[in-house]
Structure 1
């Protein structure tokens, strides 16, 4: 595995948390069978956790390991790479000092060897105290410490009432993770918003990494028609507030403040009065004000470009995009603080003057902040408690690393061969696949093709930054200000392209995308589902929405017809251990399960999973999404209940497929779009792959069903179109006519999906001729991604999503991988 340094900072014994897939035929059952070695063959301390198994739950030691999460200390020079080898071996080595945890019932103490962190169970001020080896106490108990939210002239504090949950999620020799949940309260019975704080501690480190999620737990309030009023900013159950801070008071008699803006050559500022601050109001880019006055969109209140830094009340610097850290030191000890993706998640503030204050939602921003029911936002915070002053402690290096945490990446060949990511292949620039690879690269390279554009340029031009939008992509094929909500599993596609290529540009899109989706694109709920919308994903459904009043909550959602999220969220969790992504994925999973277990004559009848397409027929798309999500749920959990629901969905899908298979008939009503039918057959293929890998019989005859659908589609819908390209029209009417709205053959990269479905049918016994058709479909989708005369280039976020997600099943079958 390669560990690549990308922040330009030497890393020494920095803890890496990364997941690696393991092939089923390795037959590894215990994490004790794995050991890590450096390039010289020396054993490296490594903490290993099973996060998924082949055909069972992560805890089921009778099933082989599928994904393992590793924690280990890595050293790599600035801009360099280091190699590590994960082997089947019993040669384990422990760190010089394990993390130890003690709990007296009132206070939890985590001793990393470099620092002792204490937290009280009856109040959450983040830390009760922090003692650093060789420096003594850096942080003492104070009611002024913790998270503070300001609304209506009142102050709501994390320490005002006891947390509702205080749980050690992981205890290992190298990393300990604690999760605290509770309310931000002005006093007993007066909570406004809630929080989840995940705190990670590392062996031999005095750093604490905090993932703080601000959450609106208010339920939706259905209208008279039973529809959840959850879309608009300010809808019933919304909470408005003026700001929110993390405040900590280091224990120093004298104080020197050190501020780095993290931008270019602007240097580091120092104040012996301890009064330095920086405030980022907008993204700082050329289009920083493109949403200005588009009320009530969160970016509509921006007032100036970029950031400004102050010494006291005097401006000392200004710039565009800050990635700052702030340190307060004195008396031989200090504390440094920063948050990841500072400017991207604007507005943000960082203040020092007797106390340290990280403004996750700054009071000085021009507008109020509003969280709708079920809305979350998570920030990653790094706190470095240290001996000495900022220079002596190497604060610059430690905090600069926050911009780009280290990741251990296996080779594309390993990811493809593992089978854990399904049917994928490493990047392949041979002539047969070159157009496909160019289409993917056009997300970054505007020189590919005639448009002179790229996904990165589109994100920039539409200012898709700020705490609400960052991580999503623009709806630039309709209304560019609108949010695509990573439709058709674009987040998952970004991760696939990263793993099959090793190109970190995909990772830089995928990581914020997965974190955004886990927060913003899901209607989060507490406890059990009590309304069909709970846990729903807001897919882009109604077209041409500008997203100013209802960002990331399309008025046509949530519904199984456009429900994604789970594949990308789970894969991101396997790769990073980011628990928030897994939790959100399972909210969507349980939502989808509720919808189908209470539809089509089952349960309480209030699942309402039915949907009709533009042709007046039952749509294939809800069945596709339901089946895909149940498949992912089973692979993540090993729970056979998800297979049961998947089989129920397959049975229900005949409402859509029976008319299709009975067509064509003269005078018959209805029809289907080809891509929605293909989405369903693709999901059948994924389901078959999953049950075969787990030894589960095909009780619903899914293989013959898939082949029958694809053969019928090819026999009735396949056409030769313009420019010599072959494939399918956009849709097919059940009276035998085609929907030629986009030509006799729809020249688009939806044909990459068609190629995958044809390849799946071939793989499950459909005949060699289907692979020949798959090759033609792949050529059409690769060479004509967006209509007649087009070529690989960045056309819009939709084409980028389709290419990132589809085409791999065919490529693997065609290349014999």
Structure 2
């Protein structure tokens, strides 16, 4: 939380203290003291609030009493006709203890069907805590194979409960309308929701035992419970977007139902929780003296509107801390305008509009978006495409949209039951079967993965920019899973997808973040296989997929190969395969320019076929990608220009860029993914930039 103004004073000088306390850990921030229990999943086992400001915590200032090991994190799920519920002794770790902030991580498992990861953020001098709750449906690393059918389950309820001690006369105030004496009152958001084309149909209601007291469409997602002497405000980020939800206030305490009991989404299969997916919730608990005030509402709303710390574009572009390919902070009006349309600036197109039209919100769909019934979040690394433009332009709307995509992807599209020993890919594919409104398999949790759609640069950069520890968990879990089986996969096919630059880019990121030499070894093996071995690399410089004596390739994927392997050269310029790779980049550029384009470079073949390994005549499949998809080879032309100095490659790249921008359809998922992912890197060269990898050895740690 950032606070500034004439009346704001630094109140963090006393720091944060931690000490063992019974069966757990006691944390003191100054005005707040709370205990975390290791005997049961109690979350906040006890809380004291220094209401009189004397720096001590008396018995009368205890706000939450110990749950006695029974657990105040509640999970009930259904397998077949039976209900099960279990509490587990959690593992408690102190992840961070600094002068201003402490982070406690609590991990537990339930019935071998769920894994819970909760982080509590405490702040020096403050009486609020942030709770980041991730529920993984099926514990991580269970060793499932990428193409095994995953188990289906139904949550009955997932909730967090705070057993509050309040005096008579306490009241509850709900965001969205409604102040009531504390008895039984609740705010619910889309507990029954009908998914339908065109979107809409959102509904919240504030209720008491006597009936409804307020209604609306999208609730702010906060509630305050106080008795005039003290209280707590709970604010849930993305409350309405992550329906079905319920906030329940009673004399017993405050209950936050993250999956609301009795939820009835329609069609019925939309209630199915596939094992391997996850969902993260972000909650701020603001403990305060006195009654509810506008200041508490302001803090609640501030939590829902995330604050990002950013730098000027020139700084990002000059440091290249984001990755291996240079970016230009120079404006390019036509390109920049299209980027802003992708993030919905004109109100007629882009991810926000696609979500609304596709009714693409809710516990399972959050962060993804629909074009028709085609899920687009993993249509290439859209977050990375957006974040490159954020680094260039510094527009916060781009960062917000990329953050939303990443939060959706790290829960829904990384399949956490896979492991290094058994998985080919840790990611699920987007669904192309148009089954969303029929309640089918929306995001690929059940049908497996598309081996070409494996990316991590966007998520890595989201973590760099936000420090989101959930993103870090997924990144460092995914690296060894990517590593575990893809060598075999590459060896058996040698196709553009398996040998393509996606995995090279992933292993470059893995090496940069772990300094584990095995990733360099794997990159060397891949580079030799792709650029030197004759069983995969043909004389024409392209990698072909064999079906008997007929060979096929997808030439529009050229940038993926050149981008990924040029990233590898940049971290290991002394590799013995550098000349092979750079010669290969030029051969790819020549092949694409001579054989892959159509209609005067305004279209590109989706596929090319040749009869025989050494054939030099090629025919198309009759299908083309037009206009903006030609940008998928602009970076390849730019790299060939830098390696050869030949102006013709740069001329081709500029033509592709100009024609691609003229025909860019911002209502098409691929324009937000494939085309934008590599375009920002190509733009640097098109604007006159020059860059080659240095001659140096792999850096030591």
Give the structure-2-normalised TM-score.
Answer: 0.85
Distance 1:623 1:105, change over 3 A: farther
Instruction: Report what 1:323 is aligned to.
Output: 220
Aligned length: 658
Residue 396 (structure 1) aligned with residue 297 (structure 2): yes
Residue aligning to 1:549:
440
Following superposition, the deviation at residue 114 of structure 1 comes to 2.1
Partner residue in 2 for 1:680: 561
Map 1:315-394; keep pairs closer than 5 Å. Answer: 315-330=212-227, 332-354=229-251, 355-366=253-264, 369-391=271-293, 394=295
Q: 8 Å contact 2:224–2:234 — kept in the other structure?
A: yes
1:434 aligns with 2:353: no
Whole-angstrom distance in 2 between the partners of 1:130 and 1:335: 11
In structure 2, the CA distance between the partners of 1:805 and 1:248, relative to structure 1 (3 Å rule), is same
- Whether the 8 Å contact between 1:428 and 1:437 is mirrored in structure 2 is no
- Would you say 1:761 and 2:640 are equivalent positions? yes
Residues 556 and 759 of structure 1: CA distance in aligned 2, closer, same or farther (over 3 Å): farther
Q: Distance in 2 between matches of 1:733 and 1:644?
A: 33
Alignment of 1:96-107 (within 5 A): 96-103=13-20, 106-107=23-24
- Quote the Cα distance in structure 1 between the aligned partners of 2:329 and 2:180: 51
Question: Are 1:563 and 2:454 an aligned pair?
Answer: yes
Equivalent of residue 272 in structure 1, options 168, 178, 181: 181
CA–CA separation in structure 1 for the residues paired with 2:174 and 2:336: 40
1:410 aligns with 2:324: no
- Distance in 1 between residues matched to 2:135 and 2:361, nearest whole Å: 18
Q: What is the Cα deviation at residue 684 of structure 1? A: 1.5
Residues 560, 625 of structure 1: 8 Å contact kept: no
Residue 589 (structure 1) aligned with residue 479 (structure 2)? yes
State the distance in 1 between where 2:649 and 2:192 align.
49
* Deviation of 1:504 (Å): 2.5
Asked whether the equivalents of residues 428 and 444 of structure 2 are also in contact (C-alpha less than 8 Å), the reply is: yes
Q: 1:379 to 1:663 in 2, by over 3 A?
A: closer
Deviation at 1:545, TM superposition (A): 5.7
Partner SS state of residue 264, structure 2 = coil
- C-alpha distance after superposition, 1:702-760 (max 9, x if no partner): 542443333432563265725xx5675444334423427356xx532222231111112
Say which of 214, 229, 240 aligns to 2:148: 229
Match of 1:525 in 2: 417
1:732 matches 2:661: no
Q: Which structure 1 segments of 5+ residues have no match?
A: 1-13, 16-73, 83-92, 185-189, 263-267, 293-298, 600-606, 613-617, 786-792
Q: Which residue of 1 aligns with 2:694?
A: none
Which runs of 5 or more residues in structure 2 are unaligned?
Answer: 53-60, 611-615, 690-701
Q: How does 1:458-607 map to 2 (within 5 A)?
A: 458-474=354-370, 476=371, 480-525=372-417, 529-533=420-424, 536-540=426-430, 546=436, 548-553=439-444, 557-558=448-449, 560-564=451-455, 566-597=456-487, 599=488, 607=489
2:196 to 265, 283, 290: 290
Preserved contact between residue 420 and residue 482 of structure 2 (Cα < 8 Å): no
Specify the alignment match of 1:629 in structure 2. 506
Question: CA offsets per residue over residues 227-266 of structure 1, 9 Å max, x none?
Answer: 7333xxxx5x33322112111111112252332324xxxx
Distance 1:323 1:802, change over 3 A: same
**Deviation readout 1:310-345 (Å, 9 max, x if unpaired):** 133410111001112111112611111121100100
Q: State the partner residue of 1:62.
A: none
Cα offset for 1:173?
0.8
Give the distance between the partners of 2:192 and 2:353, measured in 1 at CA: 14
8 Å contact from structure 1 (residues 257, 270) kept in 2 = yes
Cα displacement (A) at 1:697: 3.8
Shift of 1:488: 1.0
Q: 1:409 to 1:109 in 2, by over 3 A?
A: same
Q: What's 1:22 paired with?
A: none
Superposition deviation, residue 622 in structure 1: 4.3
Give 1:651 deviation, angstroms. 2.0
State how far apart, in whole Å, the 2-side matches of 1:473 and 1:395 are: 33
- The one-character-per-residue Cα deviations of 1:542-574 (angstroms, maximum 9, x if unpaired) are 66565832221177643533222x112211111
- SS of the equivalent of 1:315 reads strand
Q: Provide Cα deviations, 1:790-816, integer angstroms capped at 9, x if missing partner.
A: xxx523122122343121222112324
CA offsets 1:594-646 (integer angstroms, 9 cap, x no match): 1234x1xxxxxxx576448xxxxx33454322211111111222222111111
Between Structure 1 and Structure 2, which shows a larger proportion of helix residues?
A: 2
1:137 paired to 2:62: yes
Change (3 A) 1:471 1:310: same
In 1: Cα distance, 2:412 partner to 2:382 partner: 15
Distance 1:273 1:721, change over 3 A: closer
Secondary structure (helix, strand or coil) at the match of 2:102 reads strand
2 CA distance for matches of 1:351 and 1:545?
34
Report the CA distance between 1:410 and its aligned residue: 0.5
Contact 1:624/1:679 (8 A) holds in 2: yes
Q: Cα offset for 1:536?
A: 1.8
Q: Tell me how far 1:444 sits from its aligned partner.
A: 4.3
1:251 to 147, 160, 165: 165
Secondary structure, aligned partner of 1:170: strand
The answer to whether structure 1 residue 75 and structure 2 residue 4 are counterparts is: yes
Aligned with 1:114 (options 26, 31, 43): 31
What residue number does 1:175 align with? Answer: 101
CA contact (8 A) 2:197 2:357 kept: no
Partners of 1:662 and 1:321 in 2: how far apart? Answer: 52
User: Retained in 2: the 8 A contact 1:214–1:376?
Assistant: yes
CA distance in 2, matches of 1:726, 1:191: 54
Displacement of 1:497 in angstroms is 2.5
TM-score (norm 1): 0.74
Does the 8 A contact of 1:347 with 1:467 survive in 2?
yes
Output the CA distance in 2 between the equivalents of 1:373 and 1:663: 36
SS at match of 2:380: helix
CA distance in 2 between partners of 1:759 and 1:397 (Å)? 50
Alpha-carbon separation, structure 2, partners of 1:108 and 1:555: 40
Distance 1:687 1:562 in 2: 19
Q: In 2 relative to 1, CA 282–768 (structure 1 residues): closer, same or farther, beyond 3 Å?
A: farther
Say what the alpha-carbon RMSD is for the aligned residues: 3.4
**For the residues of structure 1 that align with 2:22 and 2:579, how far apart are their CA atoms?**
55
Displacement of 1:662 in angstroms is: 7.9
Check conservation: 1:282, 1:305, Cα contact below 8 A. Answer: no
Aligned partners of 1:291, 1:811: CA distance in 2, in Å?
37
Contact 1:560–1:626 (Cα < 8 Å) also in 2 = no
